[in-house]
Amino acid sequence: MKRLGLLALSIVMAAVIAGCGKPPDAQLQQAANDLQAAQEAGAPQYAPEAWNRATAAGERMKAEQESQGRRFGLFRSYRQVRTLAAEVSRLAGQALAEANSKKTQLRGELAAMIDELDASLQSARRQLSAVPRSKGLDTASLRSSLGAAGRQLDQARSNLGSGAYDSGLAAAARAREAINGVLRAIERATGLPASKKR
């Protein structure tokens, strides 16, 4: 009876050791999937600090996995690897959430900027066409500037549709600069603030 008890205890201990010595493949795959999801959502660009924390945890997980893999089978323990895999998944989830939040914010900012600049562009075109020739403005050059602003706005709209918000904001800023340049020229020529001529 005593021998049977020792045998049962040996089997349980062997199962425990085998369980500790087996890599947690499912958790490792989940951590990798979570990192990939965050990366595809733009976390490196839109949530760089959170992304760096997640990838640093991933490096620690990988190093610990490799360290255990080099040990003799009976002495391997993947407990820390499991802990780190859970940490990677948690941090990747944070990076994903932050990236999505930042993109939502930028999408709103860009959409509002495009609407504002659309109105400014139309106003600048109306004001330019109303300036008398006697004011000596180079209207052809100013119309060309407004045409360029319109193309930048089209680019910003395209960027908004494709999710390239940073590029869209840059294009909208170039459009704003061109429109404001025309409005300043009108103001200098007429002696009245362009904003009052809308």
pLDDT in tens, 88-110: 999 999 999 999 999 999 999 99
12 belongs to a structural domain:
no
Greater confidence (194 vs 196) lies with 194
Q: How far apart are CA 151 and CA 104, in angstroms?
A: 24
Q: How many domains does the chain have?
A: 2
pLDDT band at 26 (very low <50, low <70, confident <90, very high): very high
Residue 123 has pLDDT above 50, yes or no: yes
Residue 145 has pLDDT above 90, yes or no: yes
Q: 134: how many CB neighbours lie within 10 A of its CB?
A: 7
- The total number of residues shown for the chain amounts to 198
CA-CA distances (angstroms) from residue 20 to 13, 23, 45, 127?
11, 8, 38, 77
Torsional sign, CA 45, 151, 121, 135 = positive
28 belongs to a structural domain:
yes
Residues 81 and 124 in one domain: no
Terminal C-alpha separation, the chain: 101
Token reading at 89 = 């998944």
Q: Which of 77, 102, 127 is the last residue of a domain?
A: 102
Mean pLDDT calculated for residue range 151-162 = 97
If we measure between CA atoms, which residue out of 59, 156, 66 comes closest to residue 114? 156
Residues 172 and 120 in one domain: yes
8 belongs to a structural domain:
no
